[in-house]
Amino acid sequence: MGSGTSTQHHFAFQNAEKAFKAAALIQRWYRRYMARLEMRRRCTWSIFQSIEYAGQQDQVKLHDFFSYLMDHFTPSSHNERDFLSRMFTEERLPQDSEMEGCRDYDCIEVPDSYMGPRLSFPLLPDHATALLEAFRLKQQLHARYVLNLLHETRKYLVQLPNINRVSTCYSEEITVCGDLHGQLDDLIFIFYKNGLPSPERAYVFNGDFVDRGKDSLEILMVLFAFMLVYPKEFHLNRGNHEDHMVNLRYGFTKEVMHKYKTHGKKILKVLQDVFCWLPLATLVDEKVLILHGGVSDKTDLELLSKLDRHKIVSAMRCKTRKENEKQAEKGKANQTGSAGKPSPWFLPQSHSLPSSPLRLGSHKAHKDSRSSSVPCSIPPNPQELSRQVRRSVDLELERCRQQAGFPVIKEKKEEPLLFSSEADSEAGELLQPTQEEWRQVVDILWSDPMAQEGCKANTVRGGGCYFGPNVTEQLLQKYNLQFLIRSHECKPEGYEFCHSRKVLTIFSASNYYEVGSNRGAYVKLGPALTPHIVQYQANKATHMLTMRQRISRVEESALRALRGKLFAHSSDLLGEFKKHDKDKTGLITLSDWAAAVESVLHLGLPWRMLRPQLVNSSTDNMLEYKSWLEDLAKEQLSHENIQSSLLETLYRNRSNLETIFRIIDSDHSGFISLDEFRQTWKLFSSHMKIDITDDCICDLARSIDFNKDGHIDINEFLEAFRLVEQSCSEGNASECPQATNANSGYSRPDAH
């Protein structure tokens, strides 16, 4: 049996060796699979980010457009003048006395049938908790209570300093949360997991409570309620989205008008004011500075503490007075100077910047060579301006008007209604921040950290700067601080340290881009202020999915958005493809495809890696580009009666168009007239050098007026361009239905 044993051992050894090799093979294969998954995840993230940044570029283009209007357009008819005056007339800031005395919500009747929460003031902790619970059960707070709460909030905020000082000796723990962006589920989750606010449990919410998500108003109500109930322990910082101009674009305005049809406008007005009264930063134990965006090399905490934060209404709106005219203005009554200068109420004063079309290189390219401050020349006085306004572009517009058959009303030359009255401008002067003050605030609300040393203008966002580790270090030393906590940027893990752990980004909106896209996080400051991070993902469905499935879902969403972008540039792409197809074979190589796509879209994405998902049909490494573009179009179009080339152009500019519409629609009715649409489109397309005949515009306008009553429902119009809506509700892991429903039963979007 001796030899038997040794044979057994021999076999055993061989088997062990085989098992070892088999295991190694499986592991090798599996690791490759996981690596590829990781790569897909990173690419998906890049897609979302680059599209988001490109969207922010749009905002800048919009500014360029209005600058252009300012400089070139002379209204020549009543209609046009009225239309423009809506955009350009100085909107009067409600006076403080008005706001304080404004208790007309008292007259708002609450019907007996109303089953939602009823608030009485002063608020008690139970009320705040009950409010949260009511929202969790999807109840809506009556407008009367909304206004009442906002009124009380305003009263309270007014007496807060710009920089809140908090000490850890009173409450045992401080929890800092980042962006919520209307995602109530995340807030509910945080309070559930971390505990409700209390004298022992302090909270700081670091801005961006609203926009994008669908429950922005409810979040505000809860946060304000807890702040009133626990004033010493509950703190809010302003974010860049606590800004009514930004809300016009990113969904909060729409949400409020949708939920409160009668009183929405009033609510928005009060909110505009409340946002301006939010503190700018929170300082914990004089050691940890919490603010929304970041800092710049010019950040001056003393100045920030002293300025009147209420004057900074919007980052997009800045009428400023010259620094050295501060003395002069006090004495002289009719000094027109720079403050009397008319300007669109939503335009930053620096409109006289050369409006360079920002080159959309890969967003990494944005971070190189730019000057470290946005130049801001002194704006001209009114007389100079009117001369500028009456430039010779009149002729061109005359031609357009005649072509379109617009009645040319012979008016005597009147002053274009671009100027606010003298009286207003005087009062206005005193309500304006200085250029420096405005800059300081925009810097802390809009800046982002970068890895390289230095401080550069944040051209991607159009405001604030990119600040390097040396800027952080400089600031921390100057004010004897330990580290910074900021938010403003979405991170896959919900948080990220940088600058040698001196800067912590905390982001609390989980699944921000898409279900499964990222975690949310909050940070607790323990003894000695050491940060302790807690992560979460507020969606039951994602926990049940494997990583593979999660990544697939998010990836599919990103790819849909990307395909939409490709469609929006179909004509340019075709032109570019043709350049690579000199022999007119109708085919190009996949390598050329990648090069062409990048040169048109400038998104800086790894196209070769994404190609298998974007190009389904290729043979022998060659692509029939025309049919590929046609396939893209078929996916995107949901309204066949709109002429497709025009559609593409509108589609590409829809984000800006939507914002323009909302500005025109000043009473937030959701409708604009056909005329207004035509005028807007004419101006916009001439500025963007889009080649479109007036006939097309008329046709388009008429076809969009679905019920033929001379008005366009903004929302319906925008529906025509919606991408496939993910109608996957929470918990439903099945595939999303495809887009083009011939019965035009497209689903309403929740928010942007």
328 interacts with other proteins by CB under 8 A: no
465 interacts with other proteins by CB under 8 A: no
Q: Which is nearer to other proteins, 63 or 366 (CB)?
A: 366
Looking at 27-35, 398-406, 512-520, 556-564, which segment touches other proteins (CB under 8 A)? 27-35
Spatial CB neighbours of 287, under 8 Å, sequence gap ≥ 6: 480, 481, 482, 529
Beta-ladder partners of 486: 505
Sign, CA torsion 587/590/594/597: positive
Q: Which is nearer to other proteins, 456 or 687 (CB)?
A: 456
CB of 680 to other proteins, least distance (A): 39
Interaxial angle between packed helices 2-72 and 547-568, expressed in degrees from 0 to 180 and rounded to the nearest 10: 30
Q: Which helix (H) or strand (E) holds 63?
A: helix 2-72
470 interacts with other proteins by CB under 8 A: no
Using CB under 8 A, pick the residue from 9, 387, 399, 608 that binds other proteins. 608
34 interacts with other proteins by CB under 8 A: yes
Phi–psi pair at 109, nearest 5 degrees = -85, 140
Spatial CB neighbours of 116, under 8 Å, sequence gap ≥ 6: 134, 139, 140, 141, 142
- Looking at 72, 241, 292, 366, which residue is catalytic? 241
- Asked if residue 255 lies in contact with residue 184, where contact means CB atoms within 8 angstroms, the answer is no
Sketch the per residue contact string, 181 through 200, with other proteins: x for CB under 8 A, - otherwise: --------------------
* Of residues 427, 432, 418, 434, the one with CA closest to residue 333: 427
Task: Tell me, rounded to whole angstroms, the distance of Cα 174 from its chain centroid.
Answer: 28
CB of 60 to other proteins, least distance (A): 21
Q: Which is nearer to other proteins, 594 or 650 (CB)?
A: 594
Looking at 21-29, 526-534, 580-588, 625-633, which segment touches other proteins (CB under 8 A)? 21-29
Q: b or e along 224-236 (b: 16 or more beta carbons within 10 Å of the residue's beta carbon)? A: bbbbbbbeebbbb
Sketch the per residue contact string, 335 through 364, with other proteins: x for CB under 8 A, - otherwise: -----------------------------x
Encoded tokens for 485: 């906590």
Could you check whether the bond before residue 122 is cis, i.e. omega within 30 degrees of 0?
yes
Spatial CB neighbours of 362, under 8 Å, sequence gap ≥ 6: 50, 602, 603, 604
- Fill in the amino acid letter for 183: Q
546 interacts with other proteins by CB under 8 A: yes
Q: Which is nearer to other proteins, 47 or 166 (CB)?
A: 47
12 interacts with other proteins by CB under 8 A: no
619 interacts with other proteins by CB under 8 A: no
Using CB under 8 A, pick the residue from 11, 13, 20, 170 that binds other proteins. 20
Q: Which helix (H) or strand (E) holds 307?
A: none
Neighbours of 725 (CB within 10 A): 16
42 interacts with other proteins by CB under 8 A: yes
Using CB under 8 A, pick the residue from 12, 39, 110, 328 that binds other proteins. 39
539 interacts with other proteins by CB under 8 A: no
Using CB under 8 A, pick the residue from 23, 124, 378, 430 that binds other proteins. 23
Using CB under 8 A, pick the residue from 7, 403, 452, 645 that binds other proteins. 452
Spatial CB neighbours of 180, under 8 Å, sequence gap ≥ 6: 186, 187, 205, 208, 209, 213, 219, 508, 509
Query: Which bin fits 434, alpha (ψ -120 to 50), beta or left (φ > 0)?
Result: beta
Q: Which is nearer to other proteins, 49 or 168 (CB)?
A: 49
Looking at 12-20, 214-222, 622-630, 667-675, which segment touches other proteins (CB under 8 A)? 12-20
- By CB under 8 A, the count of residues binding other proteins is 39
CB of 26 to other proteins, least distance (A): 5
Q: Which is nearer to other proteins, 326 or 608 (CB)?
A: 608
261 interacts with other proteins by CB under 8 A: no
594 interacts with other proteins by CB under 8 A: yes
Q: Which is nearer to other proteins, 85 or 549 (CB)?
A: 549
CB of 495 to other proteins, least distance (A): 16
Looking at 39-47, 127-135, 570-578, 659-667, which segment touches other proteins (CB under 8 A)? 39-47
* Cα gap 677→702, rounded to integer Å: 10
CB of 617 to other proteins, least distance (A): 15
CB of 15 to other proteins, least distance (A): 8
The answer to whether residue 241 is catalytic is yes
Using CB under 8 A, pick the residue from 38, 104, 308, 493 that binds other proteins. 38
Beta-ladder partners of 505: 486, 496
Sketch the per residue contact string, 364 through 393, with other proteins: x for CB under 8 A, - otherwise: x--x--------------------------
CB of 33 to other proteins, least distance (A): 6
- Can you give 138-199 as a three-state secondary structure string? CCCCCHHHHHHHHHHHHHHHHCCCCEEEECCCCCCEEEEECECCCCHHHHHHHHHHHCCCEC
- Can you give 338-370 as a three-state secondary structure string? CCCCCCCCCCEHHHHCCCCCCCCCCCCHHHCCC
* Cα gap 419→102, rounded to integer Å: 28
* Of residues 105, 107, 212, 114, the one with CA closest to residue 153: 105
CB of 21 to other proteins, least distance (A): 7
* Cα gap 509→535, rounded to integer Å: 11
Looking at 16-24, 158-166, 220-228, 517-525, which segment touches other proteins (CB under 8 A)? 16-24
606 interacts with other proteins by CB under 8 A: yes
19 interacts with other proteins by CB under 8 A: yes
* Cα gap 515→535, rounded to integer Å: 15
Using CB under 8 A, pick the residue from 9, 32, 261, 326 that binds other proteins. 32
Using CB under 8 A, pick the residue from 8, 13, 14, 31 that binds other proteins. 31
- Asked if residue 110 lies in contact with residue 162, where contact means CB atoms within 8 angstroms, the answer is no
Q: Which is nearer to other proteins, 36 or 165 (CB)?
A: 36
Q: Which helix (H) or strand (E) holds 204?
A: strand 201-205
- Asked if residue 235 lies in contact with residue 207, where contact means CB atoms within 8 angstroms, the answer is no
Encoded tokens for 701: 């306008």
Looking at 94-102, 106-114, 296-304, 543-551, which segment touches other proteins (CB under 8 A)? 543-551
26 interacts with other proteins by CB under 8 A: yes
Q: Which is nearer to other proteins, 31 or 359 (CB)?
A: 31
- Asked if residue 294 lies in contact with residue 447, where contact means CB atoms within 8 angstroms, the answer is yes
CB of 546 to other proteins, least distance (A): 4
Beta-ladder partners of 280: none
What 3-state class would DSSP assign to 281?
strand
579 interacts with other proteins by CB under 8 A: no
Q: Which is nearer to other proteins, 358 or 393 (CB)?
A: 358
CB of 555 to other proteins, least distance (A): 11
Looking at 4-12, 247-255, 601-609, 699-707, which segment touches other proteins (CB under 8 A)? 601-609
35 interacts with other proteins by CB under 8 A: yes
- Active-site positions read 241
Residues that bind other proteins (CB under 8 A): 15, 18-36, 38-39, 42-43, 46, 364, 367, 451-452, 546-548, 552, 591, 594, 606-609
